Structure 1
Amino acid sequence: MTDLHRLSIRELSEGLASAKFSSRELTEHYLKRIEKIDAQVKSYVTVTAEQALAQADAADAALKAGNATPLTGVPIAHKDIFCTQGIKTTAGSKILDNFISPYDATVVAKGKAAGLVTLGKVNMDEFAMGSTSENSYYGATANPWNLSHVPGGSSGGSAAAVAADLAPFATGTDTGGSIRQPASFCGLTGLKPTYGRVSRFGMIAYASSLDQGGPMARSAEDCAYLMNVMAGHDAKDSTSVEKDVDNYVANLNGTSVKGLRIGIPKQYFNVAGLDADVKARVEESLKKLEEMGATLVEIDLTMTDAYVPTYYLIAPAEASSNLQRFDGVRYGYRCENPVDLMDLYKRSRSEGFGAEVQRRILIGTYALSAGYYDAYYVKAQKVRRLIQQDFLKAFESVDVIAAPAAPTTAYKIGANLSPVEMYLGDIYTIAVNLAGLPAINAPVGFDKDNLPVGLQLIGNYWSESQLLSVVHQYQQATDWHTKRAAIAEENV
């Protein structure tokens, strides 16, 4: 039983159902790997071993009684932005270092109802603000493919945990690429669903009109299993959409690649800073899809230059509003010995928030302030509509749109990119969130330094099944998703 971590979600489900191994054995296997390997990767903020074993025993009882779901007894890691009852929930911030959530996020509750076993909470950029997972109070997480490089962000802990085989799959959140970019950097499949497809209740807010939860795993098939649990309407979330949920696993072969029209935005492949290896691997993957029967169609996305400035006005403005609740009064970090209420507010927030979070709060507050609201925030919302319309026009002639997930492979830890350089790294992902569209990353090879490269496919609204199906069929014809970093190959 030394290689349980090499099994797919389907293989784990079948093995548990046929009693080849128990959930306790599987959970102990992952906990042992975390204990032996995670000191190098630093993906977990909190490991919930005692609770995980109790959940595993309950799962084994359900399996024995015939009351199991397809995922009963399968372990999972949750991004530390999802509230977990009785477990520390930090959002990667000092300001929430002492916060024990009194309730479960809907995504977590749905996972529990499906019989998933929570291994723990994984690291992230503070309040999901960042692209490297270095902006965490708990320190940087390492990329399992090269421990001197970042895993991406903000869901870097989720990506690193799965890529190092310290969890079979994980939850992530995506406000401007925070599932797709770390999936690209770590050689994984990651799906950002349509806005409103997955409940945001209990997911600590960064930018409420952009945030969306989704699955991160090795393959599209693995992601489909988790989407079957995560997706669906939630009355507790006013932005959750009442729409029938597909059976994503059953639909994995539901879209034929033959005749699929893939839009190739010419602007995306002429972006300054697009790495030659990334461009080559993405173009090779598109050639493979073409060989499988897809048709490549050049399209115009004319609003490309507006993506970064629009996003970095709207997202910080919403962050400024959302993060005002962290004031040192009701919960979270409180400064010592405040002299008055204003001192309490100022010092609690300046001591509790990291530099990047403070930067975005200040940008957002400025954009929302009297005299600037119309000039910046309102104008950005108008441009956002134009970006959405640009995509919808493209979807009149194509089924999906292809792009790199990121212009480069993983940065080195401590590269100290300027904020502008870091923000420009989001060029391929943020427009999807501005428009509320679904998109998926699939691993498609490596650069000259053996760091993973990702292909992003963007779909029209509610096309998660289509995206998962196309990537699944690509993965049936290729083996990039099966490649493992050396650290993941270690048996313990």
Structure 2
Amino acid sequence: MTSELTDLGIAAIRAGVRAGDFTAREVAEGFIAAVAAAKPLNAFLVETPDHALAAADAADKARAEGAPMGSMAGVPIGMKDLFCTEGVATTAASGILDGFVPQYESTVSANLWRAGAGMLGKLNMDQFAMGSSNETSAFGNVVSPWRRKDGGNAPLAPGGSSGGSSAAVSARLCPGATGTDTGGSIRQPAAFVGISGIKPTYGRCSRWGTVAFASSLDQAGPMARDVRDCAIMLGAMAGFDAKDATSLDLPVPDWEAGLSSDLKGKRIGIPKEYRVDDMPGEIDALWEQGIAWLKDAGAEIVEVSLPHTKYALPAYYIIAPAEASSNLARYDGVRYGLRDLPDGAGLQDMYAATRAAGFGAEVKRRIMIGTYVLSAGFYDAYFTQAQKVRTLIARDFEAAWESCDLLLTPTAPSAAFALGEKSADPLAMYLNDVFTVPSSLAGLPAMSVPGGLDKDGLPLGLQIIGPALDEQGVLNAGLAIEERAGFTARPQRWW
């Protein structure tokens, strides 16, 4: 029974627990066993079976007593290690936070526990969410559960920075997981492993208690098996939070209840600038297939232009490192985490030694880039110009919404690549975000849904982008693609 339960998604688990088909404890025990048996994936940094079982017992008790049950009652999930969890180690996969145990709960995780979810553990990730392959973690690479069908055993990247989340959901270690998306860190890993993931409008989910990378871009969202599960989980995560100055003071819609794959009357824009040079034929073919699927759902297809798209990636890799260099200045070895104090060292020496030992190479690279573009003499030449470009990109989207309701693009320029294949070339790695960064800069909701497999049997994703606050439209278009794609592929167990 337990192995069958791990094949269920969020909606199916919730329905089964409420109907009494099985208990929440049976569900939790099944997933706890799956997590324990999946060490080769290195998806979990910390396992918290007691937390998952306590939430499951509370759900079973509520059902037995006929008490109200939350939208996530009986559902155990994985928590990306960027969210502070009271009494449970939170490191952002960085050595500089080694030993840090928060005495408070992030708003997003608190919302999920209030909705009845239980925590199976903290998920591995790229260090401080900086990476696209989950190779920058201080605690080792996450390995994708997928393998190329030709029998090649090269370990593949699960995407990043939410690589532990993507690997865990795809491998059936949890039915859903939290992710964060600064420039594509929910959508790209979701595409790499054949699951769904949505980045909501900036401000929908509170950033309070989430370890910061780039504060004007960071946004939490769910990663799950399908669109409905994402809608359920996002509804539990979102909401106004007075502790976050960027939180949107708006009611949370019932996105699950509003799901509809009927797109009659909707106009779907195809941005011509996203047809990049050297794009693999399989990506372009999937894009054309996605267009056909949306037409079949009743949508009208129109071509649109987002003329400043080519500047999005360079602008992002100025703005995000600049904000990171400011945010990461707080890690100094004085108050919490790692402290490296050489014999006879003074305060400045301790700062330098701690940061040198605690931060990984990619984090150091971005801190140095950010410090440079914020320095006197370069601030106006780089940071100010990038902010202007960001405004122009947002205006491009605003102009596009006059002729369409949503946009359809590929999620990533390729399928998953082998670990180590791009880590020596930062620019090649940064290009993974070419389709996801523009909507992040504009703060728009965007979602990846699986559309098919490439010639090697690896998943490929399609991305839907919507206007601010139109998560419903994005989810509905995602559902239309999901129903027509009929994607049921899953990784063959090797771990």
TM value normalised by structure 1: 0.96
Task: Give the structure 1 partner of residue 19 of structure 2.
Answer: 18
AA aligned opposite 1:166: L
From 329, 333, 352, the equivalent of 2:338 is 333
Counterpart in the other structure of 1:467 = 474
Aligned partner of 1:188 in structure 2 is 195
The answer as to 2:325 corresponding to 1:324 is no
Counterpart code for 2:256: V
Q: Partner amino acid for 1:154?
A: S
Give the partner amino acid of 2:240.
H
- Mapped contact 1:281–1:446 kept (Cα < 8 A): no
Distance 1:124 1:102 in 2: 22
Q: What per-residue deviation string (whole Å, max 9, x for no partner) do you get for residues 211-249 of structure 1?
A: 000010011100011011011111111100111211011
Counterpart for residue 209 of structure 1: 216
The answer to whether structure 1 residue 69 and structure 2 residue 70 are counterparts is yes
Deviation at 1:43, TM superposition (A): 0.7
Q: CA deviation at 1:417?
A: 4.3
CA deviation string 1:72-102 (max 9, x = no partner):
1110101000000000001010111211011
Of 164, 171, 183, 1:176 maps to: 183
1:456 positional shift? 0.4
Give the residue type in structure 2 aligned to 1:286.
Answer: I
Q: Does 1:458 align with 2:465?
A: yes
State yes or no: 1:241 paired with 2:248.
yes
Match of 2:53 in 1: 53
8 Å CA contact 2:451, 2:482 repeated in 1: no
3-state secondary structure, aligned to 2:33: helix
| 1:148 aligned partner | 155
Pair 1:408 & 2:409 matched = no
Tell me the CA shift for residue 56 of structure 1: 1.8
What is the alpha-carbon distance in structure 2 between the residues aligned to residue 277 and residue 148 of structure 1? 22
Residues 368 and 412 of structure 1: CA distance in aligned 2, closer, same or farther (over 3 Å) = same
Describe the SS at the equivalent of 1:78. Answer: strand
Q: Which of 345, 353, 374 is equivalent to 2:380?
A: 374
8 A Cα contact 1:260 1:294, kept in partner: yes
Q: Find the counterpart in structure 1 of residue 150 from structure 2.
A: none
Deviations 1:92-148 (A, max 9, x none): 101112110111100110111111010001010000000000100111111111271
- TM-superposed CA distance for 1:151, in Å, is 0.4
Q: Which residue is equivalent to 1:113?
A: 114
Gaps of 5+ in 2: 148-153
Q: Helix, strand or coil for the counterpart of 2:493? A: helix
Q: Secondary structure at the match of 1:402?
A: strand
Measured after TM superposition, the shift of residue 256 of structure 1 is: 3.1
Aligned pairs for 1:216-255 within 5 A: 216-253=223-260
| SS of aligned partner of 2:270 | strand
Indicate yes or no: 2:391 matched with 1:385: yes
Distance (whole Å) between structure 1 residues aligned to residue 174 and residue 300 of structure 2? 36
1:483 CA displacement = 2.2
Q: Distance in 2 between matches of 1:238 and 1:256?
A: 36
Deviation of residue 423 (structure 1)? 1.1
Aligned residues with identical type, % of pairs: 49
Pick the aligned partner of 1:163 from 150, 167, 170: 170
Deviation at 1:49, TM superposition (A): 1.3
Contact 1:297/1:398 (8 A) holds in 2: yes
Amino acid in the other structure paired with 1:427: V
- Is structure 2 residue 487 aligned with structure 1 residue 486? no
In structure 2, the residue matched to 1:124 is: 125
How much does 1:11 deviate? Answer: 1.4
Tell whether 2:293 aligns with 1:260.
Answer: no
* Structure 1: gaps of 5 or more residues: none
SS at match of 1:470: helix
Q: Is the 8 A contact 2:452 2:459 kept in 1?
A: yes
Question: 1:469, CA displacement in angstroms?
Answer: 1.4
Alignment of 1:291-330 (within 5 A): 291-330=296-335
Which of 358, 364, 389 is the aligned partner of 1:358?
A: 364
Deviation per CA, 1:269-305: give whole Å up to 9, x if none. Answer: 1x12422212211221221211222221111111121
In structure 1, how many angstroms separate the alpha carbons of the residues matched to 2:91 and 2:226?
Answer: 28
Residue matched to 1:40: 40
- Secondary structure, aligned partner of 1:267: helix
Give the AA of the match of 1:87.
V
Secondary structure in 1 aligned to 2:302? strand
Q: Secondary structure at the match of 2:6?
A: helix
Which amino acid counterpart does residue 206 of structure 1 have in structure 2?
Answer: F
Question: Which secondary structure state, in structure 2, belongs to the residue aligned with residue 262 of structure 1?
Answer: strand
AA aligned to 1:454 is G
- Matches of 1:286 and 1:448 in 2, distance apart? 21
Question: Match for residue 291 of structure 2?
Answer: 286
**1:336 to partner: Cα distance:** 3.6
Query: What SS does the corresponding residue of 1:120 show, helix, strand or coil?
Result: strand
Identify the range of structure 1 (292-301 vs 216-225) with the bigger mean alpha-carbon deviation.
292-301
- Kindly indicate whether the alpha-carbon contact (under 8 Å) linking 2:293 and 2:480 is maintained by their aligned counterparts in 1: no
Matched AA of 2:47:
V
The one-character-per-residue Cα deviations of 1:396-444 (angstroms, maximum 9, x if unpaired) are 1001111111101111011134111111221101111111111000100
Aligned mates of 2:133, 2:190 — CA distance in 1: 12
Q: Which residue of 1 aligns with 2:80?
A: 79
Q: Quote the Cα distance in structure 2 between the aligned partners of 1:68 and 1:374.
A: 53
Code of the residue aligned with 1:414 in structure 2: it is G
Query: 2-side partners of 1:384 and 1:97: how far apart?
Result: 35
Q: Give the match for residue 276 of structure 1.
A: 281
What SS is found at the alignment partner of 1:348? helix
User: Shift of residue 187 of structure 1?
Assistant: 0.5
Q: Give the drift of 1:70.
A: 2.9
Aligned with 2:277: secondary structure?
Answer: coil
Q: Deviations over 1:292-328 (max 9, x none)?
A: 2222111111112101110000000000000000000
CA contact (8 A) 1:233 1:242 kept: yes
Query: Is residue 7 from structure 1 mapped to residue 13 from structure 2 by the alignment?
Result: no
Q: Which amino acid aligns with 2:60?
A: D
User: Shift of residue 40 of structure 1?
Assistant: 2.2
1:476 aligns to 2:483 (yes or no):
yes
